[in-house]
A and B are shown apart, each in its own frame.
Chain A
Amino acid sequence: MTITEQRPSYRYVGTRPVRHDGLDKVVGKARYAADLVLPGMLYGHILRSPHAHARIVAIDTSAAEAMPGVRAIITGADFGDLPADDPERNMTLNLMARDKVLYEGHAVAAVAAATRRQAKDAAEAIAVTYEVLPHTLDILAAMEPGAPLLHEDIFTTGLDSEPTEPSNVANRTCYERGDIEKGFAESDIVVEGEFVTKPIHQGYIEPHACVADTGQDGKTVIWCSSQGHFRVRSQTAAMLGWDTSRIKVIPAEIGGGFGGKTTIYLEPLAVELSARSGRPVKMVMSRDEVFRATGPTPGSVIRVKLGATGDGRIIAAKAWLAYESGAFPGVWAMLGCMCVVAPYNVENFVIEGYEVVVNKPVNAAYRAPSAPMAAFATDTLVDEIAQRLDIDPIDLRLLNCPSAGDQAPYGPKWPLIGLRECLEAIRDSEHYRSEPAPGHGRGVASGFWFNIGEASSATVNLNENGTATVVTGSPDIGGSRASMALMAAEELGIDVHAIQPVVGDTEVVGFTDVTEGSRATFATGMAVVEACRDLKGQLRGRAARMWECEVDDVEWADGQATHSGGEHEPLALADITAEAGRTGGPLGATASLNARGAGPAFSVQVVDVSVDEETGRVTVERYTTAQDAGTAIHPDYVEGQMQGGVVQGIGWALNEEYIHDADGIMENPGFLDYRIPVASDLPMIETIIVEVPNPNHPYGVRGVGEVGIVPPLPALANAVYDATGSRIRELPLSPPRVLEAIMSGNGDGG
């Protein structure tokens, strides 16, 4: 279902054509990085730390070097150290440990050999002497003075006074507004709680993979699965100390990313092994490596206190957020601070966040990073206010709902946003209007995510037969090629399948930032539209030449040139391209831009659950999500993003979690015990696409990739409360945890 507000009607935008890259994917021809084979190719294998925290005393590679098939071995000693203030330094230290290993799975050495087996055997034959150090795994314990230190050079920034001792707290972020004491004093009801979540992995089905082929000319070609091949290029260059012009990155199909492939893990190692061996080198992670060594999203401890008036206006909020970043600090606590009360207009608040390093894998982005944990805290407490004041939870949210011109908690004024429309869409849905089945519990929640713009480039070339090739620099992680083709079709007025959308390598298309922040269809789409509009001007000029008239007398509409005086028969695009050689040569246009004005995204969701009160098992019985897409360019893939986000959120809420033993060894590094949802766990996910067009995009696009994962955490917790009377403030809502809550009867969250 789609709920549309003031949207123009389009011929192609909003239709559901078969995606251009679909055929290759259903016949097994789509080529992912692990599918590439080059002549003479070697296989790389990484030796990883068995310790959560240890000093590397010595590495002896001599036995490994003597083993059959071994062509190259590298260790941390083979890479330079970037200056302390270089933003890529931590990435390089994560890719290969230097003097210390900081988590179990941290790379220590890598081998290239003729076969996978030889590479693995040789890596295991490398003798590493470790001095095991005390480690810290728990976020609160890591914050304490005297906790084992990961880094001697982290001094907390953002404190009132400059610290004199290093710590595991990298920074403090603070947002304040109004008078919080007064706000709570004037509140008729105050609710508060501490909420805890574990690290969660993105869980893409394709493990990280790349092939690097370094030539004698000192240049290298990398084929890889990533969300941004230009970042692969710049990060690889940073680690190797190379000029970027020596590196060409060719994007393979990407088998899922969700933020986890916005950074690199393998490429510089493969390039270096290839340079040393003179052979192409392929590196493919095992699932075990993916879990132990690539970025989960942080675990968190979040304390929120909300004050509201008796009629349900939330007037005071205090939030304290601690996010664990893994072995190197990120920006996670800051993002959490920005999101924690975003769906609510609150006059008085103090929000402070702490970024904490622990001896676990370095975190990476994961779909609306940091927002779901923050929403878990806030939207659970908002539900509690609604329940205690006996106000419908949607009505309560409508009462506190921000709209254009209100000030967002992180500073700027909200532009046109669709939160109210999403709330109304859920309120008016058949699901919400019908009573839950007997024994079922119902929960609702809302969620916010910024979306971003950033740099994008596109080249559109018209072919002599009237078809077009659209080349962009955005890896397609969820159907963006089809969206690019739809926008180009709308602009040029030719059939969407007369357009071939292509993801170009770093040498054929202009710089383009990573596919992140739900930006591809928004920002790269803008570049495509801009290039198409340039082409339309060129087409009018060519028609004027063919007609020997003034260009001002030529109009372009519906894929053809018409003469304003009606003196000539209209010329279709193919008529003009067929004559291009005689009217000035090939037709093509390029646009590169820094997209501004990304439209914030909101989603509101309702879920019904049943709970087996004797075993604590939660079953998702019905689920409906409403999300503001701005404009849905390809509604099938908008729905797909909404459904995928919801189900990832369900996994996070119910079963997923990193489990480490006391030594910091991950106990569930596989899909058997890291339990992502399977098909039989779920009902259909009903979708309501809300369209409040973003005025800053030619077609009103907001970006739809991320926000869907935000509401499920609180929505499920609220539904479990409704079913059982237990407020559970720690995820996952696994059967043992739910049963314990039921049996202890912690009706008000304790």
Chain B
Amino acid sequence: MRYVAPASIAEVVELLIGDPEATVFAGATDLVPQMRAGRPEPSVIIDLKKIARLTEVSLDNGTWRVGAAAPTSDLTDNAALAADLPGLVHAAGLIGSDQIQNRASLGGNLCNASPAADSVPPLVVNDARAVVAGPGGERTVAVADVPTGPGRTSLAPGEFVVEFEIDRPPARTSDAYLRLIPRTEMDIAIVGAAARISLDAGGNCSEATIALGAVAPTVVLVPAATEALVGRPISDDVLATVAAACAGAASPIDDKRGTIAYRRQVAGVLAKRAVAEAAGRAGNGGGR
């Protein structure tokens, strides 16, 4: 196995094309445990953290650019980002311990393609885009389209994620992310739910996106929840409809972390709570 820390995106692409057994990494917080558990060793480990663009977090003309290898602690420490996208930043701050958050990245969280990845549902509800570099140059793809199943992504050979683009939310819009873990920290989500809610001047919901994590091979969007919300105030009745819609949309599995019935039930509970939290923030003006 070789370790390389290229200074440019082009070098990374070249290494990836040249060796199908090579892999990129940022924090290696998934890679190392997987290798210890018997995952075949890559031939080359490509450290992305020496490329400035991959670790930067910046606001560029109304769009946040978050480097795919930026440690999540750089997101939680960024007050302006947290004001704009509190749900996403909260999710980033849930990924493991302080030690983990000084290494783990959104790029890794996405490309590890765990159904339980905490940052993916809030990226999806915020219509985040991944900038992907590869042999053909760079392309932009919706985050929702990157994971295709547990451990699998739509990235082609030679491709890797460079950064995320997330537009600043409009006024009276905010997001939220909640997850259920047995302990208070250090666990993988049994269920996760993200919501992005926009309110009109009268306090009625004008736009809503709900996404669930850990209840299907990839993130589940719940149009029925959107339908229940748009044009209505955030009432208990509406939230109950949201919960039922989300429980119905979930198609989870039984595993060591939870049962199908439990995940369905809690998906609804967390979704309605996330909607209420996002709406509460949106009602206070949202990120602006």
Contact = CB atoms under 8 A, between A and B. Distances in A.
Interface of A: 286, 288, 614-617, 654-655, 659, 667-668, 670-673, 675, 677-678, 680-681, 734-736, 739-740, 743
A616 B265 CA distance: 11
A615 B37 CA distance: 31
A288 B262 CA distance: 28
A616 B182 CA distance: 9
- 9 tightest Cβ-Cβ pairs between the two chains A and B: A736-B262, A680-B184, A614-B269, A667-B256, A659-B256, A655-B182, A681-B184, A680-B185, A678-B185
A617 B36 contact: no
B259 A672 contact: no
Contacts, number: 59
Interface string B163-197: 00000000000000000101111111010000000
Contacts of A735: 180, 182, 190, 262, 266
Given A659-B256, A675-B187, A739 B262 contact: yes
Nearest to A676: B183
Given A677-B183, A735-B266, A739-B262, 9 more contacts: A288-B37, A615-B266, A670-B33, A671-B186, A672-B188, A673-B188, A678-B183, A735-B182, A736-B259
Contacts of B266: 614-615, 735, 739
Contacts of B190: 735-736
B182 A617 contact: yes
Contact of B258 (A667, A681, A736): A736
Given A617-B182, A667-B256, A736-B258, A672 B36 contact: no
25 contacts: A286-B36, A614-B269, A615-B270, A667-B256, A668-B256, A670-B33, A671-B186, A672-B33, A673-B256, A673-B257, A675-B182, A675-B186, A675-B187, A678-B186, A681-B184, A681-B185, A734-B182, A735-B180, A735-B262, A736-B190, A739-B262, A739-B265, A739-B266, A740-B261, A743-B265
Contact of A615 (B256, B259, B269): B269
A734 B256 CA distance: 12
Contacts of B188: 672-673
A672 B97 CA distance: 12
B136 to A, nearest CB: 38
Contacts of A617: 180, 182
A118 B242 CA distance: 56
A616 B270 CA distance: 12
Interface of B: 33, 36-37, 180, 182-188, 190, 256-259, 261-262, 265-266, 269-270
Nearest to A737: B262
B35 to A, nearest CB: 12
A672 B183 contact: no
A678 B186 CA distance: 8
State the main secondary structure of chain B at its contact with A.
loop
A671 B262 CA distance: 23
Nearest to A660: B256
A598 B129 CA distance: 68
A288 B184 contact: no
Contacts of A614: 266, 269
Contacts of A672: 33, 186-188
B100 to A, nearest CB: 11
Nearest to B265: A739
A617 B183 CA distance: 9
B213 to A, nearest CB: 15
Most A Cβ at <10 Å: residue of B36, B187, B262, B270: B262
A288 B37 CA distance: 9
A497 to B, nearest CB: 36
Contacts of B269: 614-615
Contacts of A615: 180, 266, 269-270
A678 B266 CA distance: 23
A149 to B, nearest CB: 28
Nearest to A661: B256
Given A286-B36, A614-B269, A735-B190, A655 B262 contact: no
Contacts of A668: 256
B262 A740 contact: yes
Nearest to B187: A675
B45 to A, nearest CB: 16
Contacts of A675: 182-183, 186-187
A681 B183 CA distance: 6
A93 B75 CA distance: 53
Contacts of A286: 36
B182 A654 contact: yes
Given A735-B190, A736-B262, A739-B262, A678 B256 contact: no
Contacts of A677: 183
A714 to B, nearest CB: 20
Contacts of B256: 659, 667-668, 673
